[in-house]
Amino acid sequence: MSALPPPPGCNVELTKRVLVGFLREETHRVGMTRAVLGLSGGIDSALVIELAVRALGPENVLAVAMPYRESHPDSLLLARESAQHAGVELEVADISPMADGYLENNPDLDDKSLESVRLRRGNVFSRLRMTTLYDRSAKLGGLVFGTSNKTELMLGYGTQHGDMASGINPIGDLYKSQVVALSRHLGVPSEIIDRPPSADLWAGQTDEDELGFTYDSIDALLFRLIDRRESRESLIEQGFQADFIDTISKRVRINQYKRRPPLIAKVAARTVNLDYRYARDWGT
């Protein structure tokens, strides 16, 4: 698929202004001045911390690295580098005791040769990290900043109530390729930008291996499919393989549930979010 059209561009200076304004205003309006976020050593959280310090000042940002004992050691090193670059002190909260406590009581999670087990273990780690961040949030009065990008959200490539959980998310409308462009603009360390993206849920995992396609090709497709609403026929004419379009389209559709709050059985005249409809910023 070498002849594919490019992924979406990004006006980096303008985007920075919008996102920094978003973080500042949406944090302050709920009466908070501080932010909490997890640093994985990857590009998404490295970008969010750069935006966060510009919005709130480094003294108001708490960065937490939450390694498991099997996490790649580079992840913690890069998380440190990212925090240092942003001028934020890094707290390291090892989730191994918590995770091992759970795993010991669930021996069916031992066999890591099974894909389903790897996935379940990954979800457990992700939700323990969420638990840690939300506890820090309550302790410090800081809002949890999300780090899921639009590519992940569209593909459902994230853990519900885990890494997808946050108070507000500045990069959820940016595709991965736009995250890369903005990260370069904000001076995220190149080791982080150039490292193959990975959820680091097991040794040697990379996103692109697991997804089966490159981020550039996925972003090029998603941008045309979602933002521009181009037809399947037009996308095939532009060089996208039909089975690639269908695989990604199906993935987007079946993961819609992850992007929405839980369904509520409607029995009354006005039902939360259905016909009881108020903005979250109501009254502020």
Q: Is 25 in the site for another protein (CB under 8 A)?
A: yes
N- to C-terminal Cα separation, the chain: 48
Torsion-angle region of residue 94: left (phi > 0), alpha (psi -120 to 50) or beta? beta
CB of 268 to another protein, least distance (A): 14
d(CA 67, CA 2): 37
Q: Is 283 in the site for another protein (CB under 8 A)?
A: yes
Backbone angles phi and psi of 200, in degrees to 5? 55, 40
**DSSP line for 106-122:** -GGG--TTSHHHHHHHH
Contact residue for another protein among 2, 3, 14, 105 (CB under 8 A)? 14
Q: Is 17 in the site for another protein (CB under 8 A)?
A: yes
Binding mask 217-256 for another protein (x = CB under 8 A): ------x---x-----------------------------
3-state helix, strand, coil in the chain (%, to 5): 50, 5, 40
Q: Is 207 in the site for another protein (CB under 8 A)?
A: no
Q: Is 148 in the site for another protein (CB under 8 A)?
A: no
Contact residue for another protein among 3, 5, 26, 88 (CB under 8 A)? 26
Residues 211 and 218 sit within 8 Å (Cβ to Cβ): yes
Residues in contact with another protein by the rule CB under 8 A = 8-11, 14-15, 17-18, 21-22, 25-26, 168, 178, 223, 227, 276-284
